[in-house]
Amino acid sequence: MQLSLPSGLSPRTLDAFLSQCRAIVGDSFVFTGDDDRDAYSDIYAAAGDQRHIPSFAVAPSEVEEVQAIVKAAVATGVPIWPFSRGKNLGMGGTAPQLSGSALLDLSRMKRIHQVDADLGYALIEPGVGFYDLFSHLQNTKTPLWMSCPDQAWGSVLGNALDRGVGRTPYGEHSQSICGLEVVLPDGSLVRTGMGAMTKSKTWGLFKPGYGPSWDQMFVQSNLGVTTKMAIWLMPEPEATTTLTIKAMRDDDLDWLVPRLISLSRDRVIEQFYFLANCFCLAPIFSSRDKWYDKPGAFPPDVTKRMIAALDIGWWNGELVLYGTDAINRAREATIMERLSGRATVSVSLRRWQRGEPLELSSMSVPTTSGFQVVNWYGGRGGHRVSSPVLPSRASEVIGHVRTAQKLVEEAGREFASAVYISGRYTTALNIVAYDRDEPDGAKKVQDLMTSLIATAAADGFGEYRVHLDDMDKVAASYDFNDNALLRLNQRVKDALDPAGILAPGKSGIWPKRYRNGSAA
Amino acid sequence: MSVRACLITALLLSQAGFVALAQQVGTGGPPPVLPLSVFPPESVQTDEAVFQRACAACHGPMGMATLQLMRRLPPSEAILANRRDLDGPTVKAVVRSGLVGMPPLTRGEVSDEQLDRITRYLTGKRGKR
């Protein structure tokens, strides 16, 4: 793959930085080959799209090595792009925003430093994946439950720092962060919250610390390299109940959404829950060509035939209750009452009590099955997601879903939609799957994503998390007072990272040297 | 394999995320006891343990790769560790280059030495019944 360097960076300078990286971590953990650059690029990008190609990767295992690499980057001016495990594949994966950046691969930092079973937290490094932490908790018979995203191949720390979500009471993962260890862009080391005290016994317990709280400053930001994180875990509940919703008609959405929102408003349900349409579930067990061989989005009769054959709903949902058996049963009764009375909507439930096999519970477990959506069209699959945040008002949620559906179907694709509902806000996931080798795919996919983002923004709905290619336009859409928020972010960026070496362009935040498209 | 058979097979293998939802809406009634994906700790350094930690998230029961392979193989053969027909060069090429929806695994995530052990594990059953 063609290597291109950022403007103002010479091959000689890159070589000097490369040599320093080798001296810091050893030759075995610096990866410079063409095959390495291919593997570390945005692997779900459409064929021919080479906008995010790294120069090389360096993989430290110790925080001191991270500090030394950052200092070397400052000294040489080489931009570095850190990632934890790089498995947010629809967002760019391991790839840098700025081609030619060196990758800081933290996947070898895999230590689980501490798990406190009584107080419910873990202290972990960036390379610890959801499967790693889950296996650790199970192997040590620790009665703490995780909150996993739908696609859980990635890093616990990285997912929290990117505002990933799950479906448990701890499902807003960035809100479960309780103190970080961070290498700042000058190579110095800081701990936030109670971790700032050397002998602290409350690092994983009290989020604010003393004085200003900085945890969230390092979320979706390029202001530091996080090397440790304390994160809250949920004590195993006494009982769980899972209620599974199956709605056979597309317009059942109009009936379901207001009722589900009312359950959140009344705190019958206290965490995220979701509705997913049939095009989120069908790819798990089938590909598009099994149902339809013509271009364009499925006609309704094809969709009906598909959901009948798969025995799934047009819309499908899951509500999970965690608590005591008595509390869960009271909540169940309210839910069943409010979701009864429509012939095309059914609700089934499954109960578990502590002591029964965990496999029967509704604990959040890691899975990679969500990736199957990329294989819907066959060939070498990929996907992108538009994720606007909506008010939890039925008219606005339903209105957005229909608007996004129209845009996706007019682009000739099936509309894979999931909405994650809470009492105040709802996150819509508009999933665009594609075959990476389809003709003119890069332009078609980008045009559709641009349209989805712009339409949502015009309606007052900002995206919460996007692919590299959309970061600038989403940052620009937060446009109050001539993009005052972006200008504040830039001022903080320039103050902490005057050399402009750390993750240029992350979340649309470019250091001064790269603003206006040229190196300073 | 019919879609119904796939769903029932899925029921026997795992629960999580959209798959759990598909299983429940697809079959009605509670699912049977399902295995959890628990891998050995880093202190266990057998070839199988290295494979599990690096690959079984996708290639274990109901992982993304297993689901994909179930579209063209019987369920037992869709589990990669059950295969008897894998050869070393193919394993290494797929791991480093990816295949269809599978991303490549970088040398930072899986070292060349670990890949040798994974390959030895996966090809050790070659030709055996």
> Taking CB atoms and an 8 Å cutoff, what residues of chain A touch B109?
85, 105, 107
- Residues 58-87 of chain A with CB under 8 A from chain B are 59, 85-86
Is pLDDT above 60 for B7? no
Residue A514's SS3 state is: helix
pLDDT confidence of residue B74: 87
Segment B99-111 mean pLDDT: 94
Task: Locate all alpha helices (DSSP H) within B1-129, ordered by sequence.
Answer: 3-13, 17-27, 47-59, 64-69, 75-78, 88-97, 112-123
Q: What is the pLDDT along chain A (520 residues), one digit of tens a residue?
A: 677 888 889 999 999 999 999 999 999 999 999 999 999 999 998 877 778 999 999 999 999 999 999 999 999 999 999 999 999 999 999 999 999 999 999 999 999 999 999 999 999 999 999 999 999 999 999 999 999 998 999 999 999 999 999 989 999 999 999 999 999 999 999 999 999 999 999 999 999 999 999 999 999 999 999 999 999 999 999 999 999 999 999 999 999 999 999 999 999 998 888 899 999 999 988 999 999 999 999 999 999 999 999 999 999 999 999 999 999 999 999 999 999 999 999 999 999 999 998 888 989 999 998 888 999 999 899 999 999 999 999 999 999 999 999 999 999 999 999 999 999 999 999 999 999 999 888 889 999 999 999 999 999 999 999 999 999 999 999 999 999 999 999 999 999 999 999 999 999 999 999 997 544 4
Contact B67 A357 (CB under 8 A): no
pLDDT value at B32 more than 80: no
Q: What is the pTM of this model?
A: 0.94
* Angle at alpha carbon of residue A313, lines to A292 and A422, rounded to 5°: 125
Please count the other Cβ atoms lying within 10 Å of the Cβ belonging to residue A127. Answer: 23
Residue type, B98: G
Residue B28 has pLDDT above 70, yes or no: no
Angle of helix B3-13 relative to helix B17-27, nearest 10 degrees, comes to 120
Q: B7 and A244: CB-CB below 8 Å?
A: no
Nearest CA in chain B to A151: B17
Q: Which residues of chain B have a CB within 8 Å of the CB of A80?
A: none
Residue to mutate among A109, A284, A314, A373, with most B CBs inside 10 A, is A284
Phi, psi dihedral angles at A424 (to 5 degrees):
-105, -40
Please tell me if residue A359 touches chain B, with a CB cutoff of 8 Å: yes
Please tell me which of the candidates A59, A309, A368 has its beta carbon nearest to residue B3.
Answer: A309
Report CB contact under 8 Å: B97, A40.
no
Distance CA A241, CA A356 (A): 13
Query: Token digits for A214?
Result: 């900085």
Instruction: Give me the half-sphere count of Cα atoms (radius 13 Å) on the Cβ side of residue A73.
Output: 31
* A274 CA to centre of own chain: 16
Please report the pLDDT score of residue A331 as a whole number: 97
| pLDDT at residue B23 is higher than 60 | no
Contact residues, A window 169-228, toward B, CB-based 8 Å cutoff: none
For residue A395, the model assigns a pLDDT of 97
Query: What gap in Å lies between CA B102 and CA A129, rounded to an integer?
Result: 18
- Among all residues of chain A, which has the CA nearest to that of B97? A39
User: What per-residue confidence (pLDDT) applies to B35?
Assistant: 60
Q: How far apart are CA A283 and CA A108, in angstroms?
A: 32
Asked if residue B24 has pLDDT above 80, the reply is: no
Q: Do B15 and A359 touch (CB under 8 A)?
A: yes
Evaluate whether A219 touches A161 at the Cβ level (below 8 Å): yes
Nearest CB partner across the interface for B28, out of A309, A316, A348: A348
B40 contacts in chain A (CB < 8 Å): 135, 139
Q: How far does the CA of residue A479 sit from the closest CA of chain B (Å)?
A: 35
Q: Do A28 and B33 touch (CB under 8 A)?
A: no
In chain B, residues with a C-beta closer than 8 Å to the C-beta of A286 are: 3, 71
Per-residue CA distances from A51 to A57, A98, B53 (Å): 17, 8, 32
